[in-house]
């Protein structure tokens, strides 16, 4: 192979796009040569730090205690100011219905909302920010996003986190059974 051809091949492998060479888009200078993404740049793009990655990795084995329909139903009939039922679905899903006495914090902005001070949180969501020792039950459509929200809350220092595993699908099925 001639030197000129070798140089062209080397440049193609390294990536000649301006974004790749300068670390834009999650590719660091050295990482682009190897074709790998630089995790710290990706995290920064998501508004996270490498320390949040470490805390997420160490908590991957933690699962929030799970509630059943029979356990959550009384919480909806006699709501307490010391407990929240939080729907982490997006607004277009919540329009279709929600569990009585629940409040909505969409998962898409959930981590950011937990970083807000209490005044900004209330302005954004219309209710008081949960205290870190307050009971918080999460639900979504099927239980997956609520598990994610539970992990995020735990990583942010919340100590009384619960997950309604059946979530909206279970709730609606059980409520329909009662009315039939």
Q: What is the pLDDT of residue 29?
A: 45
87-105 average pLDDT score: 97
Q: What is the pLDDT of residue 60?
A: 54
Q: What is the pLDDT of residue 42?
A: 46
Q: What confidence tens digit (pLDDT) does each residue in 112-124 have?
A: 999 999 999 999 9
Angle subtended at Cα 35 by Cα 29 and Cα 38, rounded to the nearest 5 degrees: 55
**DSSP string computed for 5-66:** HHHHHHHHHH---HHHHTTTTS--HHHHHHT---HHHHHHHTT--HHHHHHHHHTTT--PPE
Q: What is the pLDDT of residue 104?
A: 98
Beta-bridge partner residues of 67: 164
Residue 140 among the catalytic residues: yes
Q: What confidence tens digit (pLDDT) does each residue in 42-74 have?
A: 445 455 554 444 444 444 557 899 999 999 999
pTM: 0.67
pLDDT tier for residue 5 given thresholds of 50, 70 and 90: low
Please identify which of the residues 140, 149, 153, 162 carries the catalytic annotation.
140
Paired tokens of 111: 């981590």
Sign of the CA dihedral running 173, 174, 176, 180: positive
Q: What is the pLDDT of residue 81?
A: 87
2-14 average pLDDT score: 48
Average pLDDT of every residue of the chain: 79
């Amino acid at each position: 192979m001639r030197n000129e051809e070798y140089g062209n091949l080397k440049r193609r492998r390294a990536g000649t796009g301006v974004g790749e060479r300068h670390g834009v888009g999650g590719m660091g200078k050295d990482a682009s040569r190897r074709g790998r993404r630089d995790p710290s740049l990706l995290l920064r793009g998501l508004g996270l730090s490498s320390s949040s990655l470490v805390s997420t990795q160490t908590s991957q084995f933690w699962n929030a205690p799970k509630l059943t329909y029979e356990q959550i139903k009384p919480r909806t009939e006699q709501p307490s100011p010391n407990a929240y039922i939080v729907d982490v679905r997006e607004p277009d899903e919540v329009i279709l219905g929600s569990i009585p006495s629940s409040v909505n914090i969409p998962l898409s902005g959930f981590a950011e909302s937990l970083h807000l001070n209490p005044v900004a949180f209330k302005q954004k969501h219309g209710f008081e920010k949960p205290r870190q020792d307050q009971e918080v039950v999460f639900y979504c459509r099927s239980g997956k996003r609520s598990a994610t929200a539970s992990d995020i809350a735990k990583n942010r220092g919340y100590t009384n986190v619960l997950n309604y595993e059946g979530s909206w699908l279970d709730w609606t099925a059980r409520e329909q059974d009662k009315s039939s």
